[in-house]
Structure 1
Amino acid sequence: MGDGDPLESIADAVDTAIDELTGGPTDDGDIERFTAAGMTLLAEARGAEDAAATFVLLHGIGMGRKVFADLARRLHPHGRVIAIDQPGYGEAPEPPRTPTIERSADLIGAYLRKIDRGPVVLIGHSMGTQVAAEVAVRHPATVSHLVLVAPTVDRHHRTAGAQLGRLAVDLLDESPKVLLLGAREYVRAGPHLGRKVRAMLTHRPEESYPRVAAPTLVVRGGRDRVSTREWCDEVTRAIPGALGVEIPGHGHETLIRDAGPAAEEILRFLG
């Protein structure tokens, strides 16, 4: 749409209103688009450019970079924070075909080499943990530390019905903030969400976990019905030297509703 389009103006106004209602920033950070192998991601960076540490945030299925506003705010004092819209999510354009988790990881790896900030602290949430784990395995020089929050997909319940049913139950206890942010991002994910879910379910993260070399933290919300305690314990055991923590009173969207406890655990892990 061109400048001055009334529908675009309405969409921008709604977007700003949601940010205001949920406590997110109404201004953009430093925005960059990166394209490789026919896919485009959008990266939003905040914090000092000369910071020694770099945190890179990867969202889950149907989500986008803006759900990380609270976490990014808490991490800013400790380094440069880059939140990613993966291809076909948030404001990143839909690719010609839905990428596999492995192809998404290769795109992230190429972007990390391009920005040339050295190894990063890579933080994935939900489906983003699958991408993050593959980046750590396929592009190990780009990752100093790996953080997997609410890892999916539980190999014992690898069906769309099981995953969506558990998520629906989990969301019954969630705050209006999470529901409002989630609704916006799911609309943005567009008509190909079903194909994206299939790509998520096809991936086998348990085959990659034993090959992760980066120091790893696995974080679970104590009330998370999607990423159960049994599954997160299995993930932690599968990754050499990984640590596992549980945040009481939080569900699957622990990084979105109130990222404070998770941020504290991440910073404690980094020492």
Structure 2
Amino acid sequence: MSDIAFFSHAGATLVAETTVGAAPEAESPVFVLIHGIGMGRTVFADLITRLHARTIAIDLPGYGEAPEPRSVLTMERTADLVAAYLHSIDAGRIVLVGHSMGSQVAGEVAARHPELVDRVVFIGPTVDARQRTAVRQLLRLAQDLAVESPRVIVVGAREYLRAGPNLRGKLRAMLAHRPERTYSLVRAPVLVLRGENDYVSSRDWCRIVVASLRQGRLAEVPGHGHETMIRDAAPAAELIAEFAREG
């Protein structure tokens, strides 16, 4: 059973879909899921099923079912919107999960609003500071998709079409952000999770991310690429759930 809500703050609107897992315990964490560029909350469908917990999957402004804002939001403004929503619902112990660009938003939420976040998961974190151009990012994504499953390609293509005509501006906003300046400000423990074959978020880059965090660790999902939670979310879900139980 799920519940869908639209939430507006400072001129932008997000969509949040809350799903209650199988009889969650009172002290169980709530997993808040933030998608990457060109995607939407539906890419987390398999992960939600496998977490067996209360989850809140978000469509950021201009993605999925969320309306386009008047202007493209920065990562910081997006994080403040997500934080305002989380404050409004008093969700309890939150494990914030960001995939790709969503890791940039999750990092800003954790740094700017530490009272909200118990633990953080970066899945395939972007943007590699050594590859911060649109051409390089698109080439790496193309490399990754070349080895992904047809399911990933179909889901990804559908969501990119839904992302609308402002995708170029959204890409510029993603590339303008400097996540490496935020990592040291995140107080919560962070799991950095990547697919073994992820061309977008390399092992070297993820090691840099972990080294920049106050409390970071790296884990890999064998045989997976950048879209690890779409192709088969079971291994990622197991690692995320184990990390959350440590809290």
Secondary structure of the corresponding residue to residue 190 of structure 1: coil
Is residue 2:31 matched to residue 1:43? no
Cα deviation for residue 182 of structure 1 reads 0.6
Cross-structure match for 2:61 = 87
Return closer, same or farther for 1:39/1:246 CA change in 2, 3 Å cut-off.
Answer: same
Distance 1:118 1:254, change over 3 A: same
1:199 correspondence with 2:199: no
Cα pair 1:119 1:141 within 8 Å, conserved: no
Higher relative contact order (CA 8 A, sep 6+): 2
Amino acid at match of 2:46: D
| Matches for 1:1-271 after TM superposition, within 5 Å | 29-47=2-20, 51-52=26-27, 53-75=29-51, 77=52, 79-271=53-245
What letter matches 1:244 in structure 2?
L
In the TM superposition, residue 251 of structure 1 has moved relative to its aligned partner by: 0.3
Which amino acid letter does the alignment assign opposite residue 227 of structure 2? E
Cα deviation code 1:153-204 (max 9, x no counterpart) = 0000100000000000110011111111111110110000000000000000
Matched residues in 2 for 1:51 and 1:41: separation?
27
> Residue 117 of structure 1: CA displacement?
1.4
| Percent identity (aligned) | 58
1:31-77 Cα offsets, whole Å, 9 max, x none, are 000000000000011115875321100000000000000000011x2
1:15 corresponds in structure 2 to none
Root mean square deviation, CA, Å? 1.2
Distance 2:84 2:215 in 1: 27
Contact 1:51 1:80 in 2 (8 A): no
- Equivalent residues of 1:218, 1:245 under 8 A apart: yes
Q: CA–CA distance in 2 between the matches of 1:176 and 1:44?
A: 26
| Residue identity in the other structure for 2:36 | G
- For the residues of structure 2 that align with 1:91 and 1:259, how far apart are their CA atoms? 23
Where 2:61 maps in the other structure, the secondary structure is coil
TM-score of the pair, normalised by structure 1: 0.87
Unpaired segments of 5 or more residues in structure 2?
A: none
SS in 2 for 1:218: strand
Query: Runs in 1 of length 4+ with deviation above 6 angstroms?
Result: none
Give CA-to-partner distance per residue, 1:120-179, whole Å, 9 cap, x none.
100000000000000000010110000000000000010000000000011001111111
2:118 partner SS: strand
Residue 84 of structure 1: SS of its match in structure 2?
Answer: strand
Displacement of 1:118 in angstroms is 2.2
In our comparison, the structure showing a higher alpha carbon Rg is: 1
2:48 touches 2:55 (CA, 8 Å); kept in 1?
yes
Q: 1:204-240 CA deviation, whole Å, 9 max, x = no partner?
A: 0000001110111000110000000000000011001
Q: 1: CA distance between counterparts of 2:234 and 2:17? A: 20
* Distance in 2 of aligned mates of 1:98 and 1:92: 13
Q: What letter is aligned with 1:209?
A: Y
Instruction: Name the one with the larger helix percent.
Output: 1
Paired with 2:215 and 2:147, the residues of 1 have a C-alpha distance of 33
Following superposition, the deviation at residue 258 of structure 1 comes to 0.5
